[in-house]
Amino acid sequence: MPRAPEIVAAGAVVSRKGPDVLLVHRPKYDDWSFPKGKVDPGEHLTAAAVREVAEETGLDIRLGQPLALQHYGVNGGQKVVHYWAGRVVGGDDVSTYRPNEEIDEVAWVPLSKADRWLTYSRDRETLAEFARIRRKSRPLVVLRHARALPRKTWDGDDPERPLASDGELQAEQVVPVLAAYGVQRVVSSSSRRCWATVAPYADVADLDLEVTHDLSEEEAETDKVEELVHAVLELKDPVVLCTHRPVLPLVYAALGVRDPKLDPGALLVVHHRRGQVVAIEEHAV
């Protein structure tokens, strides 16, 4: 008998000062849970988490550290839910939320009382995990540039080698991922294939695109990369660094994390607090 397809969903444990956490009530099931929902075809998990919170609560959020996956049976199949810690961007008032058939109540609940509101034990476990890691951290996104034209097909100078057509698509696909983490600084190698990877996001987010030879294949050096990475860790804003495969090990060494061997267009999100790495996650586009 064929296995039922796995249902993939995404959501967030959203908090505010208090501390309070955001819960939703579903009239169909008469349950209280965290905002979440199914990932649309072609949609990235991170973008789905942000979208679902907006649709179910009316609040705009940005993602923090990832939480453990939830796996459980549903309608004869299996469901997996990807959760992140989330923070509200803008106002957090839910008093004007309009009830509907899917969600009829949205509430901020004190963290100390939320476990008594939650209907399912799996959500109480997620809440307990969130309570342990809820202190604010910042994401540093380390991005390998999207697929470029092969060297053998390019007659010009290598720093000017452009993205391939599928690389241009990857550059567009990375936009909602960077947006999900609220990236506010865009730093790239001066090579075209790198800055072209992050240019679509910089354009959409109305950010300056900061280019540096220190992240380029030709001029990257251990001490320069280390200095750049340490400077980025001191910033209060979420940052993306876009560079090349040969330079990435220097970035990882400066961060003190293992080399995940990223494919073109893939990224490593390094969550840090006070200069210390507290969590990492890897994503493809």
Give how far Cα 185 sits from Cα of 88, 109, 174, 211, 239, Å: 19, 33, 15, 11, 5
Our CA angle for 253, 258, 260, nearest 5°, is 120
Band the pLDDT of 2: cuts 50, 70, 90: low
The total of structural domains in the chain comes to 2
Least confidently predicted of 1-5, 123-127, 240-244: 1-5
One domain, residues 161 and 106 = no
Same domain as 195, residue 260: yes
The reply to whether 246 falls in a domain is yes
Residues 175 and 276 placed together within one structural domain of the fold:
yes
Range of lowest pLDDT (3-12, 77-86, 149-158, 237-246) = 3-12
What pLDDT was estimated at residue 75? 81
pLDDT of residue 77 exceeding 90 = no
- Residue 244 banded pLDDT, cuts 50, 70, 90: very high
- Residue-number span of the structural domain to which 234 is assigned: 138-283
Determine, yes or no, domain membership for 164.
yes
pLDDT in tens, 121-150: 999 999 999 999 988 999 999 999 999 999
Domain membership flag for residue 1: no
Q: Looking at residues 219-232, what average pLDDT do you find? A: 97
In the sheet that holds 239-243, the strands lie side by side as 209-212, 185-189, 239-243, 138-144, 267-273, 276-283
Cis (ω within 30 of 0) for the bond into 19?
A: yes
- The verdict on 111 and 217 lying in the same domain is no
Does the pLDDT at position 28 exceed 70?
yes
Q: What is the average pLDDT across 183-205? A: 98
Mean model confidence pLDDT for the chain: 96
DSSP E strand boundaries for 145-246:
185-189, 209-212, 239-243
Q: Place 268 in a pLDDT band, splitting at 50, 70 and 90.
A: very high
Given 133, 161, 190, which residue is the final one in a domain?
133
CATH code of the domain containing 67: 3.90.79.10
Whether residues 181 and 83 fall in one domain: no
Check whether residue 196 and residue 113 sit in a common domain: no
Give domain status of residue 2, yes or no: no
d(CA 207, CA 185): 7
Binned at pLDDT 50, 70 and 90, residue 3 comes out as low
What mean pLDDT is predicted for residues 177-196? 98
Lowest mean pLDDT among 3-7, 41-45, 59-63, 152-156: 3-7
Q: Are both 167 and 217 inside the same structural domain?
A: yes
| pTM, two decimal places | 0.95
Tell whether 109 and 172 lie within a shared domain: no
Answer yes or no: do 69 and 95 share one domain: yes
CA dist., res. 111 & res. 274, Å (int): 24
Given a cut of 70, whether residue 66 has pLDDT beyond it is yes
Would you say residue 45 lies in a domain? yes
97 and 222 in a common domain = no
Q: Same domain, yes or no, for 143 and 279?
A: yes
* In-domain check, residue 271: yes
* HEC-encoded secondary structure of 264-279: CCCEEEEEEECCEEEE
Question: Where is the domain boundary, 79, 104, 133?
Answer: 133
Show which of 133, 167, 187 is a domain's final residue. Answer: 133
pLDDT digits 0-9 by tens, 162-177:
999 999 999 999 999 9
Q: Are residues 128 and 150 in the same domain?
A: no
Q: Domain containing 239 — which CATH number? A: 3.40.50.1240
